[in-house]
Amino acid sequence: MTRVTLLAGGVGGAKMAEGFAALPDVDLTIIGNVADDEEFHGLWVSPDIDTMLYTLSGRINREQGWGLADEGRRALDMLTDLGEDTWMFLGDRDFGLHIYRTQRLKRGDRPSDVTADIARHFGITARLLLPTDDRVQTRVRTLDGWLTFQEYFVRERCAPDVLELRHDGINNARMTGEAAEAIAGADLIVIAPSNPLVSIRPILDIPGIRPALQAAQAPVIGVSPLIAGKVVKGPADKMMTTLGLRADALGVAEFYGNLLDHFVIDTADGTLAAQIAALGIAPHMADILMPDATAKARLAQDVLAVFQAAQAESAA
């Protein structure tokens, strides 16, 4: 058994998680992103964590990559009739989950425990951990001022240029004991092909997480979310450009820097390998597009092979 600890955001992260979950010889722990969380209609919504829960339990809407399959919008229509702002799509069954979470949080339960209980009820065998039980929320500065993450992402459809990002609450957030253990006890740590700026950074910047990753026995392997300078989906490439980063696999490698021991990039990006190696990060090429279950498991297996080869080399 290889104990894999995966740092992951929403859709891209969940694809990688599904790949590892499909491998019989992997014991998977996921540390998810809570910085997209926001309150809607009095309910606490945790989009990236829910994407992970819905994906790993097979309840996800496969076409969208988020939300439940077989959803309705009658609750949302009622809110619209009542004059509420309903740009954030929340499905009928999805509402049930947000009610459950909010009610538990109001009772004073730890967000980590609520998440673990939902995962258990859903029959998920991988562990889904939160990096912190404290509130961390991404804010996005555009020409029109600061927006919440969901205002930028959903209401404005990622159209405005991102001029600055901040993660409110992060400096005072405390890493969960579960996350600390999952990092220290891992054989292999993987950074999923998630948005580096708004999915992975709000995990890494929680005090204690970076030092824990650096102190861990396990090597850290990243997988690029960008292929040939483009995202598969979402605003990561555009965001990286407006924030002055290179919007390609090399830019992602530079962003993570010495946190990474290895970086898996697409075969289409072979020309960047030498520059990645010059950063002190070992580049590896694979087909990193994950359109289906087979591709997800194959990429997870490729990442595992990188780890096994590095182990064999250091033992020799």
Q: Is the dihedral of CA 120, 125, 51, 138 positive or negative?
A: positive
- The answer to whether residue 50 forms part of the interface with Ca ion (CB under 5 A) is no
In the complex with ligand GDP, which residue's Cβ is closer, 186 or 303? 303
Q: Is the dihedral of CA 22, 181, 206, 240 positive or negative?
A: negative
Q: Which does 288 bind (CB under 5 to 8 A by kind): ligand GDP, Ca ion, none?
A: ligand GDP
Smallest distance from ligand GDP to CB 49, Å? 10
- The answer to whether residue 94 forms part of the interface with ligand GDP (CB under 6 A) is no
- Segment contacting Ca ion by CB under 5 A, of 45-53, 154-162, 241-249, 306-314: 45-53
Smallest distance from ligand GDP to CB 254, Å? 16
Tell the residue number behind the tokens 């009739």, with chain if given.
Answer: 81
In the complex with ligand GDP, which residue's Cβ is closer, 112 or 199? 199
Interface residue with ligand GDP, options 233, 277, 293, 309 (CB under 6 A): 233
Is residue 31 within 8 A of residue 206, CB to CB? The reply is: no
Is residue 200 within 8 A of residue 240, CB to CB? The reply is: no
In the complex with ligand GDP, which residue's Cβ is closer, 54 or 307? 54
- The answer to whether residue 48 forms part of the interface with ligand GDP (CB under 6 A) is yes
In the complex with ligand GDP, which residue's Cβ is closer, 78 or 293? 293
- Segment contacting ligand GDP by CB under 6 A, of 212-220, 229-237, 239-247, 268-276: 229-237
- The answer to whether residue 48 forms part of the interface with Ca ion (CB under 5 A) is yes
The 3-class secondary structure across the chain, one letter per residue, is: CEEEEEECCCHHHHHHHHHHHCCCCEEEEEECCCCCCEEECCEEECHHHHHHHHHHCCCECCCCCCCECCCCCHHHHHHHHCCCCCCCCCCHHHHHHHHHHHHHHHCCCCHHHHHHHHHHHCCCCCEEECCECCCCEEEEEECCEEEEHHHHHHHCCCCCCCCEEEEECHHHCCECHHHHHHHHCCCEEEECCCCHHHHHHHHHCCCCHHHHHHHCCCCEEEECCEECCEECCCCHHHHHHHCCCCCCHHHHHHHHHHHCCEEEEEHHHHHHHHHHHHCCCEEEEECCCCCCHHHHHHHHHHHHHHHHHHHHHHHC
Smallest distance from Ca ion to CB 301, Å? 26
Name the phi and psi angles at 263, rounded to 5. Answer: -140, 125
- The answer to whether residue 289 forms part of the interface with ligand GDP (CB under 6 A) is yes
- The answer to whether residue 237 forms part of the interface with Ca ion (CB under 5 A) is no
- The answer to whether residue 195 forms part of the interface with ligand GDP (CB under 6 A) is yes
In the complex with ligand GDP, which residue's Cβ is closer, 125 or 267? 267
- The answer to whether residue 236 forms part of the interface with ligand GDP (CB under 6 A) is yes
How many residues at the interface with ligand GDP, by CB under 6 A? 24
Site string for ligand GDP, 135-174 (x = CB under 6 A): ----------------------------------------
Interface residue with Ca ion, options 7, 19, 35, 36 (CB under 5 A): 36
- Interacting residues with ligand GDP (CB under 6 A): 8-13, 15, 48, 51, 193-195, 199, 223-225, 231-234, 236, 288-290
- Interacting residues with Ca ion (CB under 5 A): 9-10, 36, 48
